[in-house]
Structure 1
Amino acid sequence: MKKVLIVSTVSRQFYLFEQANIRVLRKLGYEVHGAANFDDRSERLKEVNVIEHHIPFQRSPFTPRNVKAYKELLALVEKEQFDVIHCHAPVGGVLARLVGKKFKKAKVIYTAHGFHFYKGASKLNWLLFYPVEKWLSKYTDQLIVINHEDFNIANSKFKMKALDLVSGIGVNFDKFKPATPSLKSEKRAKLGFKDDDKILIYVGELSKRKNQKVLITAMADVVKDYPNAYLLLVGRGALKAEYKELIASLGLEKNVRMLGYRDDIATLMQLSDVALSSSTQEGLPVNLMEALGTGLPLVVSNCRGNSDLVENGVNGQIISENEAGFWSQTIINLLGKPQVLAQYGVKSLEKSKLFSEEEVMQEMQEIYSK
């Protein structure tokens, strides 16, 4: 039986982002192995049921402990003689390709879920990460990217044997789908919301990169025009205490709800009116693809990944400047135009077909079969 090794820095990659790939690989007759640091082990690993190999990867690319991880990965590949090595994440991607270049039999695939160098990134990011990726591209048989900015950089600058743009990880649109008006009303009532409330949702880690701060600040002006407007922040993260303090200082405890980790995101999407993303950078954001399938209009910051999913004035709006004043002005304007929001929602649903699980599985089957 052919064997494939999926390499990631942490094991949650397998059940969060690799389920479609694993199904495709099994369909093609591969025995699927996974190498990662399994210190973040979850019961959800049972969903993918890969043959596990614990490699002590460290997320920081600068720690000498990754030398040990490299040696253990090298020994594993030498022992198992994999036909395909498919690697992810910066550290996993670097070490797996360094190992893979020693084994000519193995086809080395790297999926970049968003390069660390991008329009607007710091000079330090470009100095540290760009040369490494460019050098390693010559040891990459197949490079997969998930947004147009990364594709254009790789296509013009890198030396991989093959390059493909894939539509993300694939979303299950049987789960993320629009709600009927009656179902939307029912879901709202269960959480204490009324039919005429204006509900905005942003799903993401509470972090500087996701930049919820600008939305919280913007809500102080939004509620002056729309006292029944609510911002749902779904996710957990290091900035929880800071954001909670900011919400209190602005008197927004009623209108900005920090919901923490939730396993009912599809329901929260269905009861919402608009999906937001104020990120400073993205690869191809899953939260927005899920919102597309739910038929929500999108209002997003102008960054890589976001701009791949939103056509300005078609299925939402792109904020020109990621500042609170621009956000509040745009939100207030759109909440006063329900017909425009409805049109945006229809176009979102149409666009979602490009990012379905079925579409991505077909794309990946073609790549794995090359």
Structure 2
Amino acid sequence: MKKILFIATVESHILNFHIPFIQYFQNKGCEVHVATKLGNRQDELKKLGIVCYDIDFERSPYSFSNLKALNQLIKIMREDKYSLIHVHTPVGAFLGRLAAKITGTKPVIYTAHGFHFYKGASIKNWLIYYTMERLAAHWTDGLITMNDEDYNAAKRFKLRKSNAVFYVHGVGLDIDKYNISDKNERKQTRKAFGFGEKDIVILTVAELNANKNHKQILDSLIKLKSLDNVYYLIVGIGEYECYLKKYVEENGLSGKVKLLGFRLDIPDLLNISDIFALTSMREGLPRCIMEAMAAGKPVVATDVRGNRDLVKDGTNGYLVPLDDVNATVDALQNLIESEDLRKKMGDEGRKIIQDYSIDKVLKEMDEIYRRLFI
């Protein structure tokens, strides 16, 4: 039986993005293993018949723990003799490819979910991450990207195989899951949150950290305070939770903003929302925007890599400059004031997102796997 190894720095990455591709191999009779830093969701992986290895990864490339992680990867590769390794996330991908190089394991496929070097990134990021990627490219048989900027950057790398840089439409989305049109259910759920039919609900689903830049929306809401019927829901957890709660309180937004923490009912929350917002500093190809588009919601997003691959300015939403609060206010106000515009842009988003369905992405990945492995 062929054994396939998926590598990512954290287990949530595997669970959130890669289960359909793991099942793709299981359906072909392969045994799938996962090497990641296991946490409180590891039972979800094991229930799917996945063999799990707990690896001492740290997200920071400077952590000495990653030397231990490298040795752990070398050990399991020598013991299990994998037929294919598919690596993800910068640190996990680099160490996984290095371990594969040391053990002579191949082919190795790398999916870049958003290079940490990009237009506008710090010199430090370019020095560290660009160097890592350029070096590890020599140990890579196939490199998968999911936005235009990364695709063009990846084509400059020298891979082990020629013509092996690919563009796919993200990690795939179960579009029907987000297409909820039950008006009565929307009304009842909004009522449970304390929202009336005429209230406007803005939603963000994103980890609470510096990169996701929730403050740009909060600062926009401060300027929109006079609109009594506008509310903001934030879904996510992270190290910025205390900071955001304090910022909301200090700026008189406590009655307007709800931090909901970790949630599994994203389709329902999208159903009760009117506008989706994501003002990140950096993205690869944000799944949360894809979900919002599938739910028929207009999107206000920063004009950065990844966001601009999904949001066509003036068509299915608005792209605003990073940290430009006035432009964000204008975009939100346009949508707040016009139900017809919200519906029109939401409908356009539904059309665009069809190319990103899980069925289409699985077909794209099938072609890549067949070319490099099967």
TM-score, normalised via structure 1 length = 0.95
Q: Where do 1:1-370 residues align within 5 Å?
A: 1-104=1-104, 106-159=106-159, 161=161, 162-224=164-226, 226-370=227-371
* Identity percentage of aligned residues: 35
Q: Secondary structure at the match of 2:62?
A: coil
1:259 and 1:365, CA in 2 relative to 1: closer, same or farther beyond 3 A?
Answer: same
Measure, in 2, the Cα distance between the counterparts of 1:334 and 1:169.
29
Measure, in 1, the Cα distance between the counterparts of 2:7 and 2:265.
29
* Letter aligned with residue 239 of structure 2: A
1:144 and 1:40, CA in 2 relative to 1: closer, same or farther beyond 3 A?
Answer: farther
Contact 2:279 2:322 in 1 (8 A): no
Measure, in 1, the Cα distance between the counterparts of 2:332 and 2:31.
49
Contact 1:5 1:34 in 2 (8 A): yes
Contact 2:179 2:296 in 1 (8 A): yes
Contact 2:137 2:157 in 1 (8 A): no
1:261 and 1:151, CA in 2 relative to 1: closer, same or farther beyond 3 A?
Answer: same
Measure, in 2, the Cα distance between the counterparts of 1:297 and 1:112.
27
Q: Secondary structure at the match of 2:259?
A: strand
Structure 1 segments (4+ residues) deviating >6 Å? none
Contact 1:215 1:278 in 2 (8 A): yes
Measure, in 1, the Cα distance between the counterparts of 2:144 and 2:30.
20
- CA deviations over 1:282-308 (Å, ceiling 9, x no partner): 111111111011011111001111111
Measure, in 1, the Cα distance between the counterparts of 2:274 and 2:324.
22
* Letter aligned with residue 308 of structure 1: D
* Structure 1: gaps of 5 or more residues: none
Displacement after TM superposition at 1:154 (Å): 0.6
Q: Secondary structure at the match of 1:143?
A: strand
- CA deviations over 1:310-351 (Å, ceiling 9, x no partner): 011111110134322221122112212222221101011111
Contact 1:315 1:347 in 2 (8 A): yes
Measure, in 1, the Cα distance between the counterparts of 2:237 and 2:37.
22
Measure, in 2, the Cα distance between the counterparts of 1:58 and 1:208.
18
The alignment's C-alpha RMSD in Å is 1.7
1:337 and 1:172, CA in 2 relative to 1: closer, same or farther beyond 3 A?
Answer: same
TM-score, normalised via structure 2 length = 0.94
Measure, in 2, the Cα distance between the counterparts of 1:220 and 1:72.
50
* Letter aligned with residue 35 of structure 1: A
1:193 and 1:41, CA in 2 relative to 1: closer, same or farther beyond 3 A?
Answer: closer
Measure, in 1, the Cα distance between the counterparts of 2:166 and 2:28.
19
* Structure 2: gaps of 5 or more residues: none
- CA deviations over 1:186-223 (Å, ceiling 9, x no partner): 32123221111111100111111001111111101123
Contact 1:222 1:331 in 2 (8 A): no
